[in-house]
C-alpha cells in the first residue's frame, strides 16, 4: 500500500465543493496506472482500464469532506461560518482551523469560553474564528466569503495499524477505488473498469450523478465508510455488528442488489478474506443511491470501510481494512464478465 500517497490525501483540504487540490493529486497519481484518466467540469476524476469494453463496472469513492464555509466577517475581524455537511458543531470551539483561501492556507482559532463550552445547542452560526485580524477590513484582506474551513489536523498512526485523522470519510474510499482499479489492471480484468473520486457527496451528490450519467455503467459500487458498533455505544441493532479491523462491510438494504452482494462474498471467500454485514433501511446515504437512479437505472452494491467517530476530527480506521477493501474490489473487477445476468429469477 502506498501509505505516503494515502497520508498526503488525508492531509489535503477537500471540503465539499472545493475538492480540486485533492482531485488533482489523484489525477496525477493515476496517470501511469490506468488506460485513461479524465477530469470533468465538477472535478470528478475517473480512471479507466479497458475503455473500449462494452460492459462497464464503476466504483465510486467520494473525495470531499465535511467542514465549514465563511459566511460573514464581524466588525471585530472574526469570521462567521455555516456548516458544509453533517458536522458536530461542539467539536470546533477551542481548536485551530485551516482556512483555504485563493492565496493558500491561513490559520485560525475557534473561540471558546465557559459559556460556549456549556452550550450543547451550539449552532454553526454561533462559531467565531479568530485569524488575528485587527478588524473587518483587515480580515477581508486575507479571506473571502465562501472560503472553506477544516480542522488544523493531520493524520496520525495509532497502534496495531490504526490511523486517526479528519475525513477518513471518505478519502480512504477515494484511495481504495483507485488502488483497486490499478490492481485489477495488473490482474488482467477483462470488462471496462472505471473508478471515480466523486465531488459533493456530503452535500449534493452531484459528482456521482455527473459521472454515472456519463459512464452509463452496467454495475456500480459505492465505497464509503460505515459506523462500527465496537465502542462508543453505537448499537449493533441499528446497523449490524461491525468492528474495526475485521474486514470490508457488505450492506443489505432494499435497493442493494443481492446478486452483487453474493458476488462480493464469493470474491472474499476466494481470497480467504473475512467480511462483515450491515443493514440499512431504504437509502444508504451514499453515492450508491445517486448512481442507482441514473440513466435507465444502475444495479449497485455498497462496500464500506469500518470507521469509528465518523464526522469527528479524530476518525479512526484500520489500514488492514483499507488493504482488504482494495483486494476485494480488484477481485470483483476481475470476476465480472460481459454475460453477467443480474435478474433475480
Ligand atoms: Zn462518506
Q: 179-215: per-residue pLDDT in tens?
A: 999 999 999 999 999 999 999 999 999 999 999 999 9
Find the 32 Cα to ligand 1 centroid distance in Å.
27
pLDDT at 282: 81
- Per-residue pLDDT reduced to its tens digit, 86-138: 999 999 999 999 999 999 999 999 999 999 999 989 999 999 999 999 999 99
Task: Identify the band that residue 281 occupies on the pLDDT scale cut at 50, 70 and 90.
Answer: confident
Q: What domains can you pick out in the chain, each with its CATH number?
A: 3-65+166-335 (3.40.630.10), 67-151 (2.40.30.40)
Beta bridge partners of 61: 197, 223
Position 237 scores a pLDDT of 84
In this predicted structure, what is the pLDDT of residue 231? 83
Q: Using the mean position of ligand 1's atoms as its centre, give its distance from the Cα of residue 202 in Å.
A: 7
Please tell me the distance between residue 225's alpha carbon and the centre of ligand 1 in angstroms: 6
pLDDT score for 252: 94
The predicted-structure confidence for 147-167, as pLDDT tens digits, reads as follows 999 999 999 999 999 999 999
Q: What is the pLDDT of residue 238?
A: 80
Residue 86 C-alpha cell reads as 453533517
Give pLDDT tens digits for 47-89: 999 999 999 999 999 999 999 999 999 999 999 999 999 999 9
Question: Does the structure show a pLDDT above 80 at 233?
Answer: no
- Is residue 280 very low, low, confident or very high in pLDDT (cuts 50, 70, 90)? confident
What pairing do the DSSP bridges indicate for beta strands 56-62 and 300-307? unpaired
CA of 167 to the centre of ligand 1 (A): 8
Banded model confidence at residue 287, pLDDT cuts 50, 70, 90: very high
| Contact criterion met (CB below 8 Å) for 303 and 325 | yes
Average pLDDT, the chain: 96
Name the residues around ion ligand 1, CB cutoff 5 A. Answer: 169-170, 224
- 224 alpha carbon to ligand 1 midpoint, in Å? 5
Give residue 113 CA to ligand 1 midpoint distance, Å: 32
Banded pLDDT at 40 (limits 50, 70, 90): very high
Q: What was the pLDDT predicted at 240?
A: 83
How many angstroms does the Cα of residue 109 sit away from the middle of ligand 1? 26
Does pLDDT of 232 surpass 80? no
* E strand segments, the chain: 36-39, 45-49, 56-62, 67-73, 79-84, 96-101, 104-110, 129-130, 148-151, 156-157, 162-165, 192-198, 219-227, 249-252, 276-279, 300-307, 315-318
User: How many whole angstroms from 168 Cα to the centroid of ligand 1?
Assistant: 8
Cα 64 to ligand 1 centre (Å): 8
Amino acid at each position: 500500500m502506498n501509505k505516503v500517497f494515502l497520508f498526503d490525501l488525508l492531509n489535503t483540504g477537500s471540503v465539499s465543493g472545493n475538492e480540486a487540490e485533492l482531485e488533482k493529486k489523484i489525477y496525477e497519481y493515476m496517470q501511469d496506472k490506468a488506460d485513461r484518466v479524465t477530469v470533468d467540469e465538477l472535478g470528478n476524476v475517473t480512471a479507466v482500464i479497458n475503455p473500449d469494453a462494452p460492459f462497464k463496472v464503476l466504483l465510486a469513492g467520494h473525495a470531499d469532506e465535511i467542514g465549514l464555509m465563511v459566511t460573514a466577517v464581524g466588525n471585530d475581524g472574526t469570521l462567521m461560518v455555516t456548516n458544509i455537511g453533517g458536522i458536530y458543531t461542539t467539536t470546533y470551539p477551542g481548536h485551530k482551523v485551516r482556512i483555504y483561501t485563493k492565496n493558500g492556507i491561513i490559520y485560525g482559532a475557534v473561540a471558546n469560553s465557559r459559556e460556549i463550552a456549556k452550550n450543547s445547542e451550539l449552532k454553526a452560526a454561533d462559531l467565531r474564528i479568530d485569524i488575528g485580524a485587527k478588524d473587518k477590513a483587515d480580515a477581508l484582506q486575507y479571506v473571502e466569503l465562501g472560503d472553506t474551513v477544516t480542522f488544523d489536523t493531520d493524520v496520525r498512526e495509532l497502534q496495531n495499524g490504526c490511523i486517526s485523522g479528519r475525513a477518513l470519510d471518505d478519502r480512504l474510499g477515494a484511495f481504495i477505488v483507485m488502488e483497486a482499479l490499478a490492481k485489477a489492471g495488473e490482474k488482467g480484468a477483462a470488462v471496462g473498469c472505471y473508478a471515480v473520486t466523486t465531488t459533493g457527496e456530503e452535500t449534493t451528490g452531484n459528482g456521482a450523478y455527473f459521472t454515472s450519467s456519463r459512464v452509463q455503467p452496467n454495475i456500480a459500487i459505492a465505497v464509503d465508510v460505515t459506523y462500527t458498533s465496537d465502542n462508543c455505544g453505537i448499537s449493533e441493532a441499528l446497523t449490524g455488528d461491525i468492528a474495526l479491523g475485521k474486514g470490508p462491510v457488505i450492506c443489505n438494504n432494499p435497493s442493494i442488489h443481492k446478486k452483487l452482494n453474493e458476488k462480493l462474498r464469493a470474491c472474499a471467500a476466494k481470497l480467504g478474506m473475512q467480511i462483515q454485514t450491515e443493514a440499512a433501511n431504504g437509502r444508504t446515504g451514499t453515492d450508491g443511491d445517486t448512481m442507482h437512479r441514473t440513466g435507465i437505472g444502475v444495479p449497485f452494491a455498497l462496500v464500506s470501510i469500518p470507521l469509528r467517530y465518523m464526522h469527528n476530527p479524530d476518525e479512526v480506521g484500520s489500514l488492514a481494512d483499507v488493504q482488504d477493501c482494495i483486494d476485494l474490489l480488484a477481485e470483483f473487477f476481475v470476476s465480472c464478465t460481459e454475460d453477467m445476468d443480474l435478474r433475480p429469477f
